[in-house]
Structure 1
Amino acid sequence: MNRTAAHPPESEHDVIAVGCGPFNLGLAALASTVDELDLLVLEESAELHWHRGMMFDQASMQVNFLADLVTLVAPTHPLSFLAYLHDRDRLYTFTVRENFFPSRIEYEDYLRWAAARLPSVRFSHRVEEARWDASSGRFTVRVARGDGTRATLAARHLVLGVGTAPHLPEELAGIPPELLLHTADYLHREADVTAAGRVTVVGSGQSGAEVVLDLLDRNLRGGPAVSWLSRTPTFAPLDYTKLVLEMTTPDYMRYFHALPEGTRDRLVGEQWQFYKGVSTDTLAEIHELLYRRQLCHGPADVELRPGIAVRAAEADGGGRVRLTCEHRDTGRRFEHVTDLVVAATGYRQRAHDLIAPLEGLIARDAAGRYRVALDHSVELAAAVTGKLFVANAELHSHGASAPNLDIGAVRNAAILNAVTGRELYRLPKNTAFTAFAPPPDTAGTGVV
């Protein structure tokens, strides 16, 4: 192996975090001001990219700038979004702009700015495997570097932040790859979009709506016909009203975590509009483009059909796709023919194959998911003295806030407090006006 003083192939750390998305990058940022804490973030990519396939010029974030890597637990931190604006000499113009929501392009630039200031973040480092070494009381992590060398590192604690992967449902499995793309790759397949006579978006949510918005703009300029098919009964907006937003608070997360497993699962299903809807601004832009198209008699057909379930899909032999669809209200089936399908079908948790050697030590719930404690650590066998934390893999245990960027700093503060055994960062305690739990049973009867 290639041994260098700058990066020895064998080293030991307090924490190794796998994956460098916004959550683990925020973990590194908060740890960077703690002198006695040795934390390392390993990322297999050569550099930081964030949703490049959906990086539309005008797309904005759905959380405000305070939901950055650090501010909600450390507002004076040197890696805050405000510090980034100041360093880029845009603080004054951002203030005059009077818009708390950065563009998606600006947010990615902020992430890259922060990563460049964190020597604890190592790119081109792919974690192949993690094991528990009982003799040393450490996790051992096998890493392959971009230069072809390998190393075995050790850490008292691990954090898994490998994110989610684009999901393609079975109903679309019969479509050849050249006629199908996921929204995550939309801008990377622009040539295919341009060449198609009709593009059909299957699924809704914010990603699906942004693709439809782009397609409608193309349609006005002579681009392809557009179809939008969604299972939801309407093209529903995100419910971002003030009191509903309190479900993103630590108060609600603590309440949700204490509920029975079955109740949590029911609530996640009921709260879909909170994290799977479309922003009202995007819906308004879509309607405006449709109105403009009506005025100028758009060059190609456009159809929007909610309440549609795609039951099967296949290539028709002529280079087109034939979708078998069902109208959910009436049960009537029909066929839809298109040149290109864009799957706005969301994301699923990535398989954590790298921790397969730990499988016998991990506790799971009745549905086979990790049993996750309030501090975001996975329940392990009693003999394991280290902690294994997860980021954005605990929707089932922590509720609708788990994937949200605005809970990232709080989650990371809880993790750092847990690994150090002290309150490095004060966790917010009063974050909601809503009382989620019933009042105390003062009579002791169990009935209120």
Structure 2
Amino acid sequence: MAAEVPIHDIVGVGFGPSNLALAIALAEHNAGNAAQDSPVTAHFLERQPRFGWHRGMLIDTATMQVSFLKDLVTLRNPTSEFSFLNYLHAAGRLVDFINHKNLFPLRVEFHDYFEWAAAKVDDVVSYGTEVVAVKPVYAGAEVAYFDVEASDGSWLRARNLVVGTGLRPQLPEGVTAGERIWHNSELLFRVEALRGTDPRRFVVVGAGQSAAEVAALLHDEFPRAEVCAVFARYGYSPADDSAFANRIFDPEAVDRFYRAGEPVKDRLMRYHGATNYSAVDLDLIDELYRRVYREKVLGVERLRLFNVSRPVAVTDAGTVTVESLTGGERTVLQADAVVYATGYRPADPTPLLGELGPRCLRDGEGRLRVERDYRLTTEPPLRGGIYLQGGTEHTHGITSSLLSNTAVRVGEILQSVVDRRVAAEPVAEYAVSAR
């Protein structure tokens, strides 16, 4: 008889802020139900060697665009010891932060908070471990469990999967990253490599927050270089962070969006896209305008805005042809680097799922169908659940995969797992079919 294999209630793929928040929710759930015979068990696999969240954009002057109260736990459990406020207390900065009178911490500070929280639950995560395959474990015709295989040859067996692999940098069609062509996600690493090389020109493509931050940082770091910002808009547009518009990020908004018909969902995305996409904090817009105006007064223009324009040709050598969208005039720029701040796209989880991928149902537009509890809709017979932490905007709305909703979302996923949980069964009868 085959030896018994330990079965985790949850195996998490990836360990960014979302699955970190889930690990915390699990720890608190188990601590609050200490008398139960069988706690909810979980393990997470993360390919990075340690916790990291957009390290390439941890600009030391950049601030978060969400309130510190939308941390990993507070909207789910305001009394949690894993809150940002408790982190500040542990760091000896609570009073200083209160005196700062600001809802929006520095991005590097929030990252430090994440690392602080991750260290408290590091017993349930394996870093430096990349998931390479997910295989079904059958009981007859039914998929009873999932075997999650890692690049080092190890594997875990799970009743449920929670996929939190984050976002992938997105470049325009036909553009390939290289020595002189970057995505902004690499910014700080690339800038460090350029120190001491005296670059003369950068081209920054994009009109959102990241593009504006990249332009400002390059303008600061390389005082002899020209920074050319290229975007299709007339100017940087401010984020709509007014109180009523921000209700699109309320937890209740997920329910309302999920229940809405497709025409209403499409309208809501168009109406409120400016709360999150291609929008810039007004303070940063004002600062960039001050720089442009000051340079015009001084007669030395290093920050150049190519508005209502687009790059129509970019070579590996850094030659960029910029075309005006109004008059068609073209300007050729020779750049030391071309930085694309062109956003991210959610990773498609289905290739990782192997033969289970085709069992994940899709809508008429080819998008994955997702249930309200973030569980993929699959063909029967799958006993366990495959949950998504990301890639659910089309079903759950703008806020569904953002930090604004992280604490609430992981609570809903955990509750779904608990509600669906069944008593553990002997593994021997399944082991041969799985491995």
Question: Shorter-chain TM-score: which interval?
Answer: 0.7 to 0.9
C-alpha distance in 1, partners of 2:201/2:136? 53
- Report if the CA contact (8 A) 2:376-2:385 is conserved: yes
- Report if the CA contact (8 A) 1:42-1:125 is conserved: yes
Cα–Cα, structure 1 residues 9 and 351, in superposed 2: closer, same or farther, change >3 Å?
farther
Give me the TM-score of the superposition, normalised by structure 2. 0.87
Show the counterpart of 1:159. 162
- Report if the CA contact (8 A) 1:268-1:399 is conserved: yes
What do the CA deviations read for 1:375-400 (whole angstroms, capped 9, x no partner)?
11110112112111101211111111
Confirm or deny that 1:303 pairs with 2:307. no
Show the counterpart of 1:230. 231
- CA displacement at 1:171 relative to structure 2: 4.6
Show the counterpart of 1:208. 211
Partner amino acid for 2:22? L
Please say which of residues 400-409 and 255-264 is displaced more in the overlay. 255-264
Show the counterpart of 2:433. none
Confirm or deny that 1:130 pairs with 2:134. yes
Cα–Cα, structure 1 residues 23 and 134, in superposed 2: closer, same or farther, change >3 Å?
same
- Report if the CA contact (8 A) 1:179-1:321 is conserved: no
Q: Which runs of 5+ in 2 are unaligned?
A: 31-38, 421-435
What do the CA deviations read for 1:191-229 (whole angstroms, capped 9, x no partner)?
44854321111112111000111133246xx32111111
Cα–Cα, structure 1 residues 9 and 19, in superposed 2: closer, same or farther, change >3 Å?
farther
- CA displacement at 1:10 relative to structure 2: 5.3
- CA displacement at 1:95 relative to structure 2: 1.3
What do the CA deviations read for 1:166-190 (whole angstroms, capped 9, x no partner)?
11112534xx712211111111111
Show the counterpart of 1:432. none
Cα–Cα, structure 1 residues 172 and 271, in superposed 2: closer, same or farther, change >3 Å?
farther
Show the counterpart of 2:373. 375
Show the counterpart of 1:349. 346
Show the counterpart of 1:434. none
Show the counterpart of 1:288. 290
- CA displacement at 1:270 relative to structure 2: 4.6
- Give the alignment partner of residue 101 of structure 2, picking from 98, 101, 119: 98
What do the CA deviations read for 1:327-377 (whole angstroms, capped 9, x no partner)?
1xx252413313121101111112323213211210011222210111111
- Give the alignment partner of residue 20 of structure 1, picking from 15, 26, 32: 15
Confirm or deny that 1:37 pairs with 2:40. yes
- Report if the CA contact (8 A) 2:181-2:318 is conserved: no
- CA displacement at 1:121 relative to structure 2: 2.1
Give me the TM-score of the superposition, normalised by structure 1. 0.84
How many residues align? The count is 401
What do the CA deviations read for 1:95-150 (whole angstroms, capped 9, x no partner)?
11211211111111111111111021221221111122231711111123xxx4x2
- Give the alignment partner of residue 359 of structure 2, picking from 344, 352, 361: 361
- Give the alignment partner of residue 338 of structure 1, picking from 320, 331, 334: 334
Cα–Cα, structure 1 residues 271 and 307, in superposed 2: closer, same or farther, change >3 Å?
farther
- CA displacement at 1:57 relative to structure 2: 1.3
Alignment of 1:221-260 (within 5 A): 222-260=223-261
Alignment of 1:115-126 (within 5 A): 115-118=118-121, 119-126=123-130
- CA displacement at 1:233 relative to structure 2: 3.8
Show the counterpart of 2:62. 59
Cα–Cα, structure 1 residues 10 and 209, in superposed 2: closer, same or farther, change >3 Å?
farther
Give the structure with the higher percent helix. 2
Find the residue that maps to 1:341 and give its secondary structure.
strand
C-alpha distance in 2, partners of 1:104/1:188? 17
Partner amino acid for 1:375? D
Confirm or deny that 1:78 pairs with 2:81. yes
Find the residue that maps to 1:134 and give its secondary structure.
strand
Show the counterpart of 1:441. none
- Report if the CA contact (8 A) 1:314-1:323 is conserved: no
C-alpha distance in 2, partners of 1:280/1:10? 55
C-alpha distance in 2, partners of 1:360/1:414? 26
Q: Which runs of 5+ in 1 are unaligned?
A: 1-7, 423-448
Partner amino acid for 1:264? K
C-alpha distance in 1, partners of 2:345/2:212? 19
